[in-house]
Structure 1
């Protein structure tokens, strides 16, 4: 905050902070001091700041680096010609520091580049001369220069002024074959460099007078101009035939100047600066081999075949040759077929993948699917998926017909997916039906049919399969549940919801439990599907799926749904479930047996414990109606009413009176409710509930009832200690200690407002 003030108010204290003994403090203070001075915009302040920066010479690098980084962030226009000497000292000290780090060198580079860009259009500027000299010293250590993106910061046409200003330094560097500044300028100008003849001439000169590494860079920059690219690549090859192996040159030869491609594909390549005699040339880029002449394709195929067969090379290099050759018409397929049965797993798998990119991928579908049930399935399956896109429906149907009912399970499952994904709906539905109903068909294949058939619901035969799948096996029932409502057309949602309801009734617990978990989502489309829930919960012979059904009932209670899915009116899901369980409790149930004990009451307890918090109006309404149903079960009703208590509500007294009525003539239950109420108030820490809680405690105290008196004590214990026992709270506590009910008096006497 101090650094945001004017220099006159903050400078002295910030300067003092840069002299603190702790390096961490100084590392924080220096950037603040520099930023504060820069914000002033006063050249005099910048001069004083640079003079202060001489102290960084003897600083540690963890202090020096952030200071220089902050200096580099200042706008370069703040520096004037008078600052050249100070700037030079700062850079010299940073470069000569024994503990100088990459971050320090990066900061001084950014500082020099920023000043260079700011003054690049002024040929005689001392700051421009300093920036170039500084970069020369810096790059002597780092080896490269980056001027940023000048094409985005210069005004239109200003790039010519920059070139004119830098021309003397460019000529001087070219005389000693140092082209780093030229390359940096060309990179930073981007597309603007294409329209600068003088700059292009300098790049052409660099090609004639450069070392091997610089030649490649110069060639790439010279070829960047689209209009002259095809003409210039011929000049480069004439200058140095071995340049055909350079990536930038190859990119033009393989796409545009294919008439110059033959030397690159020859059995004896053009040796020279970039390809020494006796060295093995790398395989050229074959991506666009389909554009080449047949003789060039044959030559490229020979090179690829030779590279793939070269056992002296690493396996991944041989695999790369097979993969690259897939772009060569006819020859790529032949090479891939040669390696399908290779002892090298990597070569076999890359050959399988290459077949999917052959001239006629559909023709390779049989070969790929034949490998889909073996160890190479992880590659063949995905390759077959691509090949299937190129097959006509008739071709694909013929290929898949025999695979759907025979062969390994993996192959059959993939055939199912291909049929559903690439065949017309009628053909796909027929093949899926055949696969599902095949005698002895594996359940996993049937499950794959169901999972794939969700996109074919416009066909009635698919609905027939789905109806059978709902009860056939756990695999098929679970497969049905992979479909979600938002994946279906609106016309299909209700019908599919009824299928989910069928799975809920199945005798396969695994599928039924999964379906019950999804039923609350589907029930809104077909409310009748939820009718199964009360039956599953209240049927005490159901020992497998009742808990999942209870969870579904509780979930529906938390959703804003119309009757009969929501609410507690007679006939609703929640009402029928609770009344059914209460009927079993009244009728007498298994009690304290070896394997069962009060099953209906246990299920009712689980249901009440899983109900959502009353944080929405419809949830509170549902829970309030449920509390009325539990009148014959005081303990359970008290539990539910406790969850409905809202300490901050204006109706808190009414809520607690209802709770007291539920616990009337049950002192132990009332005491337990009071303890839980105080624990909740102490845990939730609700300062906004102070006034409603105090008012409720006063009113309940005056009623003279046992249950409400104990609840009043619970209110005081819950919030009193948090508030420090204000006077009005202690007054209510004293009144409770004189309550007509002894249990209430004893409970109040156990509360202490101060320790003796």
Structure 2
């Protein structure tokens, strides 16, 4: 019996349908290699639905049907188009196919084609297309193609397209000198007032060249440091933000930020420096050291001024409940701690090591125990280091109001719906804190019990833990436990 394309397609689909994906692909490859001729079967599959067309493009790839793949590099179906573009280079699909496809491609298809030209390093094609693409579709589309162009083309066009580049990694990796040349040219022509905004926008461009051209990139950084000394607060804010992104590569960047954040004579731009310092701490160990440097300087200034009741800041005045200033060093520590707390809600993993180290530093100063506790309750890794809760409780001994506030913050953190904290690990922590018998330990145990008990629907171990807290020797702890409800009347 002669098999028709319809029968062959039906047989293929029937054999593949019950198989899991990995076996389905292996079976498809085996059957495709046994089919001759294959093209009528591909045409039959293509005439059917999206699933069948997806099978067809994989089959054409296995069979190395260059013509079929070339006809589908601009296919409207994203799966078919994506797979065809991924194998086009290995099948040596001609440049002319891409050039022709770009003529009437939609925006989505055009961008996929441009990305494939760049990835496939079709340099001659990119050089041939980029000027026409810029005229027809604008700077943004030409900038997408720029990483695939030859060095001389990039050098010619990048100064005019610098503003349109959105992803610098590939461009800087392939053409670092051209990127730095264009950056230096742009900075040389800008008035001083516009250099900080330029750095705020284009710092990633220069940073992307550090691996290939470290000396030139760091030389440009020196210009950024000059901008940070401006008297204009808005300009300084932009400059400090850009400087923070350099912390992983520049040994001096965190130091510059720390010095600016701790300069008590500067009341205009210290917040921008502090913001940059926290950003730097989230990005590198060097930035974290800068954060600790700033906190230590501020804590020492506050402590020395309080002890002597005399000069504390660089301007020689303590400023204690004055009309215009009140403990400026303390206010800046509080601001840095608040910024760390904000990071805990949005990027806890990135900032956690730096934050925990900052909290331990502040814990050594009695005047900053509340700030140390705030950092700890926001940043402790409750899954990996629950024993740090014991240290937190000990830190708050003799400060019942702080213990109550911290316990409430711990409960809020666990109740935000992030499902943070392993119930079994935290149950052991709650039992240990309860057994201690102390006030702060008991309040932390009560917060853990309410949050995780509620999350688990008051499973039996947590109800037993709650009973233990209701017999606690400290009245505040008993009251907190009695206010928790496992079942309503």
Query: Counterpart of 1:202?
Result: none
| Superposed CA offset, 1:493-523 (max 9, x none) | 1211111111111223333221111112334
Query: Counterpart of 2:309?
Result: none
Cα distance in 1 between the residues matched to 2:328 and 2:467: 46
Query: Counterpart of 2:261?
Result: 537
Q: Retained in 2: the 8 A contact 1:520–1:555?
A: yes
Query: Counterpart of 1:504?
Result: 228
Q: Retained in 2: the 8 A contact 1:642–1:673?
A: yes
Say if 1:566 and 1:685 are closer, same or farther in 2 by CA, change over 3 A.
closer
Cα distance in 2 between the residues matched to 1:647 and 1:746: 25
TM-score, with normalisation over the residues of structure 2?
Answer: 0.55
Query: Counterpart of 2:378?
Result: 643
1:736: Cα distance to partner?
1.1
User: Which of 574, 585, 601 is the aligned partner of 2:302?
Assistant: 585
Q: Retained in 1: the 8 A contact 2:196–2:238?
A: no
Q: Retained in 2: the 8 A contact 1:538–1:580?
A: yes
User: Which of 338, 349, 354 is the aligned partner of 1:609?
Assistant: 338
> Gaps spanning 5+ residues in structure 1: where?
1-34, 42-73, 78-105, 108-150, 153-381, 383-416, 423-451
Cα distance in 1 between the residues matched to 2:43 and 2:293: 79
Q: Retained in 1: the 8 A contact 2:434–2:445?
A: yes
Q: Retained in 2: the 8 A contact 1:497–1:523?
A: no
1:646: Cα distance to partner?
2.7
User: Which of 292, 295, 298 is the aligned partner of 1:575?
Assistant: 292
Cα distance in 1 between the residues matched to 2:321 and 2:332: 15
Alignment of 1:329-344 (within 5 A): none
Query: Counterpart of 1:660?
Result: 393
Say if 1:679 and 1:577 are closer, same or farther in 2 by CA, change over 3 A.
same
| Superposed CA offset, 1:60-89 (max 9, x none) | xxxxxxxxxxxxxx9999xxxxxxxxxxxx
Q: Retained in 1: the 8 A contact 2:439–2:476?
A: yes
Q: RMSD of the TM alignment (CA)?
A: 4.3
SS of residue in 2 equivalent to 1:684: coil
Cα distance in 2 between the residues matched to 1:664 and 1:599: 27
Q: Retained in 2: the 8 A contact 1:701–1:709?
A: yes
Query: Counterpart of 2:410?
Result: 677
Cα distance in 1 between the residues matched to 2:485 and 2:183: 71
SS of residue in 1 equivalent to 2:283: coil
Say if 1:548 and 1:733 are closer, same or farther in 2 by CA, change over 3 A.
same
Q: Answer yes or no: is 1:624 the counterpart of 2:353.
A: no
1:728: Cα distance to partner?
2.0
Q: Answer yes or no: is 1:486 the counterpart of 2:208.
A: yes
User: Which of 474, 480, 484 is the aligned partner of 2:193?
Assistant: 474
Query: Counterpart of 2:181?
Result: 455
| Superposed CA offset, 1:530-575 (max 9, x none) | 32222211122312211110111111211233xxx244xxxx4222
1:627: Cα distance to partner?
1.6
Alignment of 1:295-306 (within 5 A): none
| Superposed CA offset, 1:460-496 (max 9, x none) | xx89x95x98xx7313554566462335843311211
| Superposed CA offset, 1:208-244 (max 9, x none) | xxxxxxxxxxxxxxxxxxxxxxxxxxxxxxxxxxxxx
Say if 1:597 and 1:521 are closer, same or farther in 2 by CA, change over 3 A.
same
Query: Counterpart of 1:369?
Result: none
Cα distance in 1 between the residues matched to 2:181 and 2:420: 55
Q: How many residues align?
A: 315
User: Which of 328, 334, 344 is the aligned partner of 1:599?
Assistant: 328
Q: Retained in 2: the 8 A contact 1:501–1:530?
A: no
Cα distance in 2 between the residues matched to 1:537 and 1:76: 68
Cα distance in 1 between the residues matched to 2:182 and 2:279: 31
Cα distance in 1 between the residues matched to 2:355 and 2:474: 31
Alignment of 1:29-68 (within 5 A): none
Say if 1:722 and 1:522 are closer, same or farther in 2 by CA, change over 3 A.
closer
Cα distance in 1 between the residues matched to 2:458 and 2:199: 61
> Gaps spanning 5+ residues in structure 2: where?
1-8, 16-40, 49-66, 69-138, 140-154, 161-177, 307-317
1:734: Cα distance to partner?
1.2
Identify which of structures 1 and 2 has the higher relative contact order when contacts are C-alpha pairs closer than 8 Å and 6+ apart.
2
Cα distance in 1 between the residues matched to 2:357 and 2:241: 25
Query: Counterpart of 1:237?
Result: none
Alignment of 1:204-603 (within 5 A): 455=181, 473-476=192-195, 478-479=197-198, 482=202, 484-486=206-208, 489-561=213-285, 565-567=286-288, 572-586=289-303, 587-588=305-306, 589-603=318-332
TM-score, with normalisation over the residues of structure 1?
Answer: 0.37
1:753: Cα distance to partner?
1.4
Say if 1:549 and 1:736 are closer, same or farther in 2 by CA, change over 3 A.
same
Q: Retained in 2: the 8 A contact 1:497–1:525?
A: no
Cα distance in 1 between the residues matched to 2:278 and 2:399: 29
Query: Counterpart of 2:424?
Result: 691
Cα distance in 2 between the residues matched to 1:704 and 1:510: 52
Q: Retained in 2: the 8 A contact 1:500–1:522?
A: no
Query: Counterpart of 1:634?
Result: 369
1:39: Cα distance to partner?
8.0
Say if 1:679 and 1:485 are closer, same or farther in 2 by CA, change over 3 A.
closer
Cα distance in 1 between the residues matched to 2:242 and 2:43: 64
| Superposed CA offset, 1:312-336 (max 9, x none) | xxxxxxxxxxxxxxxxxxxxxxxxx
Cα distance in 2 between the residues matched to 1:688 and 1:576: 31
Q: Retained in 1: the 8 A contact 2:244–2:253?
A: no
